[in-house]
Amino acid sequence: MALSFDTRQDMVLVEIPKLSKEAAAKAIKGCGQPKSKITHLVFCPTSAVNMPGTDYQLTKLLGLHPSVKKLMMYQQGCFASGTVLHVAKDLTENNADARILGICSKITAVTFYGPSHTHLDSLVGQALFSDGVVAVIVGADPDVCQMPAVSTISRTFALKEILCNGKAKKEALPADDLEVGRQNIRLERDSSTIVAAS
């Protein structure tokens, strides 16, 4: 007999904060800054709807300051990571010195059940999706000692001014001065840290 939904949900409520703590600790270590620099927590679980929320539990487990602003987004599914990065980008653009800890958890235990000869289609979902948690630190204006894993510059009418260190130049910039291409973007496969400089 399969476990009830409530039983599976109870298991998830205990395990998601633990897995999230591990992922967050790796992201914080990879960032190279103390956890006291974190100003926001954006958390997006696919399950674990409870009160107090998983964000609160994670804040306590990590020992984050109570002033860390928390945002929970539920049931984003496949859009979770992109949505968390989008919200984190907006937060960094609108809050000076913000450092956002973004976490997505995908735990499928709630929808998991044994194979059935009459419902072979259920095996497809179970084969495609698995459990996991990912964490990332997103911020703007990294410290001099910090090496961002990824830098982003949005296209804007003020791009030339931004690239010229805030000095507006009336003359057209040579193409060499606008080298914002692959060679300037560094992504480390093993890094769980993204620092976005907008």
Summarised one tens digit per residue, pLDDT across range 70-85 is 998 887 777 788 889 8
E strand or H helix that includes residue 103:
strand 99-106
E strand or H helix that includes residue 58:
helix 54-62
**pLDDT tens-digit readout, 22-67:** 999 999 998 888 899 999 999 988 877 778 888 889 999 999 999 9
pLDDT value at position 102?
94
Of the candidates 57, 41, 17, 45, the residue with the CA atom closest to the CA atom of residue 104 = 45
Q: Which residue has the tokens 């009418």?
A: 157
End-to-end CA distance of the chain: 53
Give CA torsion, residues 28, 31, 33, 37, to 10 deg: -70
139 - beta bridge partners? 99
What is the rounded distance in angstroms from the CA atom of residue 153 to the CA atom of residue 197? 7
Annotated catalytic residue, options 78, 104, 145, 164: 78
DSSP state of 66: T
pTM here? 0.68
Q: How many CB atoms lie within 10 A of CB 185?
A: 13
Mean per-residue pLDDT, 117-131: 73
Side-chain half-sphere CA neighbours of 189 within 13 A: 0
Question: What integer best gives the mean pLDDT of the chain?
Answer: 73
- Which residue segments constitute the domains of the chain, with CATH numbers given? 5-139 (3.40.47.10)
Residue 104 is among the residues annotated as catalytic for this protein: no
| Residue 159: pLDDT band with limits 50, 70, 90 | low
CA distances from 103 to 43, 90, 158 (A): 5, 16, 32
Type of residue found at 20: S
| Residue 184: pLDDT band with limits 50, 70, 90 | very low
